[in-house]
A and B are shown apart, each in its own frame.
Chain A
Amino acid sequence: MAAPHAMRGYRNGFGDRVLFVAVLLLAAIWIAPIVWVVGLSFKPNDVLMRSTGGIVFPPFTLKNYADILAASSVFHWMLNSAIVAIGQTILTLLIASLAGYGFARTNFPGKRMLFVLVLAALAVPEQAIIVPLHTMFAVVDLHNTYAALIAPRLAFPFGVLLMTQYFRAISPEIEEAALLDSASRFKVFWRIVLPLSIPAQATLGIYTFLHGWNDYFWPLVSATKPEMYTLTVGLAAMQTNFAQTEGIGFLMAQAVFAGLPVMILYLFFQRYIVSAVAGAPAK
């Protein structure tokens, strides 16, 4: 992480200020809609029904948030989203780490062929197999289960390739030392390699989590029972043309409320997102 100095080396003067203003301008564009949404969430619904402008002026209300606490499916959907996203994250980390280690560090018959298969799988778009996936899950009657919501994502090879890359970058000496220390192959993986790959796990974990949390198409067609809705599908269900005019403020409050935990999670893990990717040289 020597970059900070590297960049500062040639930064000075007028050009920097122009750049900085440009970045600030972009940041303003980026944050404006969010500020707006937060603003709307504090406005009474009947005011918003007539106009969504003037969010900085009174009247303000906390009713929308109070309503969430009083009666809203948002909690349940958040829980579903969390179960799905965390389930996907944990399982992805587990099988991607195992497979990544297998490909990066062990030898077994047919390894090269299987790895080519994994690389090829990278080209398969998830949206393009939704129709057959839906048919398959319908045949085995698994729709509206957490398993159905979680499982399809586990097949995508990004995590395996990321972990393979990362494990290749870890010095093999340490694993060799462990082998000489009479550790089994699995023990080497579990006790030595896995703890060493926590930064990569964090990266993969965050991306998997976000992906799972934000997934729309699959839950839309697989979670058809409202009690199995994830947040994305649930909020979309709230957004009927009718609801939009009857409760923009309430809807926005739910949006803010739903976005909050992930935002906090992000702020907490933020440094891992960059540094972990940096830790795995893309050779």
Chain B
Amino acid sequence: MSGLSLKNVSKHFGMLEVIHDLSLDIADGEFAVFLGPSGCGKSTLLRMVAGLEPLSGGEIHIGGKRIDALAPGDRGVAMVFQHYALYPHMTVRQNVAFGLRNIGTKSDEIARKIAAAAGTLEIAHLLDRKPAQLSGGQRQRVAIARAIVKQPDIFLFDEPLSNLDAALRSRTRIELARLHHRLRATMVFVTHDQVEAMTMATRIVVMNQGRIEQVGAPMEIYLQPATRFVASFIGSPAMNFLAATPTGDANGRIMVRLADGTTVATAIPAAALPASGPFTLGVRAEHVLPGAGSPARVDVVERLGERTLVHALANDGSTIVYDEPGDVAPAIGDHIQLTIDPAHVHLFDAAGRAYHADRIA
């Protein structure tokens, strides 16, 4: 049992409050990703779990045991740092062994553990090198090996992929996912990269300005973002946001009119919505369909290979992005017509709260 539980955790640096009364439970064996823009407090939160930042308030429990007063080394956590934080003056072997020696592990056991970890991470041939002699990817593996040998209750990752190039990053993502699967350990991973979050997490914790915006499985967060912030942060390209005015309802579902005059009959229950206030309609690119509909003019075309993103200007000047499969795309300046798939639109109230259509089972 090594779940992580945060209870009313808060943190402030002087007058500046960076974590607001935050509570969260992460179950044993979960791969939880703290996702958010820089400065949202996700790293601070991770460092509080690690014991590198003291709490201003609240409690942290691991496996049911309160640990927030313990020294970092006593918490049963291991951490992989953004810049790996390998000890530059020690060999790989010494790096990996350092923590074990500090807790008095016997030499033969250390050797065995290092051998196992080196095998797993394919770094056996690097053990006698110094970190400076390793490539970025190799350092990454050493950092992970250093965490693994300690057999911690929880692995903490602080944006460990941000220093890798794109190819290595996607490969490491897969390896980490595989590692998680094999170790069945609880992992907490901090990133600002939604792709990392989507691909690896069993649960994503979206954070913004020291608060949790939403906690959920990746697809849940993608499909039913709890707030406009989450909606905008998850998904690429970002969700289209258009000002929308409710015009009534049909069969209990709200109807809205967009700025260009188009009316969209959403699948969102009208009853859920507050009575008034400005609304924003959100729709992802894949749910904007070219063909008949409102007129628009092609502004920018982004070819991604497997698909092409088309940025179009509606006649009220708002930008809408939609995608075409493959290389099929209109030319810049072309006049096209776009339809929004009403089944997949979201509405956001002035406070950013989201309203979705009932989940399509």
Do A and B share a direct contact in the complex (Cβ within 8 angstroms)? yes
Contact between A181 and B102 (Cβ–Cβ < 8 Å)? yes
Give Cα distance in the complex from A279 to B146, angstroms: 28
Closest Cβ of chain B to A194, distance in Å, is 10
Q: Which of A93-101, A171-179, A239-247 contacts B (4 or more CB under 8 A)?
A: A171-179
Given A173-B81, A176-B50, A183:B89 Cβ within 8 A: no
Contact between B81 and A179 (Cβ–Cβ < 8 Å)? no
Query: Please, which residues of chain B bring their CB within 8 A of the CB of A181?
Result: 73, 98-99, 102, 146, 150
Query: Please, which residues of chain B bring their CB within 8 A of the CB of A179?
Result: 51-52, 71-73
Closest Cβ of chain B to A255, distance in Å, is 40
Give the contact-size bracket for chain B.
Answer: 20 to 34
Contact between B87 and A180 (Cβ–Cβ < 8 Å)? no
Contact of A171 among B47, B79, B85 (CB under 8 A): B85
Query: Please, which residues of chain B bring their CB within 8 A of the CB of A195?
Result: 89
Contact of A180 among B77, B83, B84, B89 (CB under 8 A): B77
Query: Please, which residues of chain A bring their CB within 8 A of the CB of B146?
Result: 177, 181
Give Cα distance in the complex from A199 to B317, angstroms: 60
Contact between A180 and B88 (Cβ–Cβ < 8 Å)? no
Contact with A along B319-347 (1 / 0, CB 8 A): 00000000000000000000000000000
Give Cα distance in the complex from A42 to B82, angstroms: 63
**A187 close to B (CB within 8 Å):** yes
Contact between A183 and B51 (Cβ–Cβ < 8 Å)? no
Contact between B99 and A182 (Cβ–Cβ < 8 Å)? yes
Closest Cβ of chain B to A230, distance in Å, is 35
Contact between B52 and A176 (Cβ–Cβ < 8 Å)? yes
Residues of B39-65 at the interface with A, using a CB-CB cut-off of 8 Å, are 47, 50-52
Contact of A176 among B79, B86, B102 (CB under 8 A): B79
**B103 close to A (CB within 8 Å):** yes
Contact of A173 among B74, B82, B99, B103 (CB under 8 A): B82
**A28 close to B (CB within 8 Å):** no
Contact between B50 and A178 (Cβ–Cβ < 8 Å)? no
The residue of chain B having its C-beta at the shortest distance from the C-beta of A173 within the complex is B85
Give the contact-size bracket for chain A.
Answer: 10 to 19
Query: Please, which residues of chain A bring their CB within 8 A of the CB of B87?
Result: 174, 177-178, 192
Closest Cβ of chain A to B275, distance in Å, is 51
**B78 close to A (CB within 8 Å):** yes
Query: Please, which residues of chain A bring their CB within 8 A of the CB of B79?
Result: 176-177, 180
The residue of chain B having its C-beta at the shortest distance from the C-beta of A107 within the complex is B54
Contact between A196 and B74 (Cβ–Cβ < 8 Å)? no
Residues of A182-197 at the interface with B, using a CB-CB cut-off of 8 Å, are 182-184, 187, 191-192, 195-196
Contact between B73 and A176 (Cβ–Cβ < 8 Å)? no
Contact of B103 among A171, A176, A182, A196 (CB under 8 A): A182
Query: Please, which residues of chain B bring their CB within 8 A of the CB of A180?
Result: 50-52, 72-73, 77-79, 99
Query: Please, which residues of chain A bring their CB within 8 A of the CB of B150?
Result: 181
Query: Please, which residues of chain B bring their CB within 8 A of the CB of A178?
Result: 87, 98
Closest Cβ of chain A to B123, distance in Å, is 17
Closest Cβ of chain A to B69, distance in Å, is 15
Give Cα distance in the complex from A192 to B50, angstroms: 19
Give Cα distance in the complex from A191 to B85, angstroms: 14
The 8 closest A-B pairs by CB, nearest first: A182-B73, A181-B99, A177-B85, A173-B85, A182-B102, A179-B72, A195-B89, A173-B81
**Beyond A179-B52, A179-B71, A181-B150: 6 further Cβ-contacts under 8 Å?**
A173-B83, A173-B84, A177-B87, A180-B99, A182-B103, A196-B88
> Which B residues fall within an 8 A CB radius of A?
47, 50-52, 71-74, 77-79, 81-89, 98-99, 102-103, 146, 150
> Which A residues fall within an 8 A CB radius of B?
171, 173-174, 176-184, 187, 191-192, 195-196
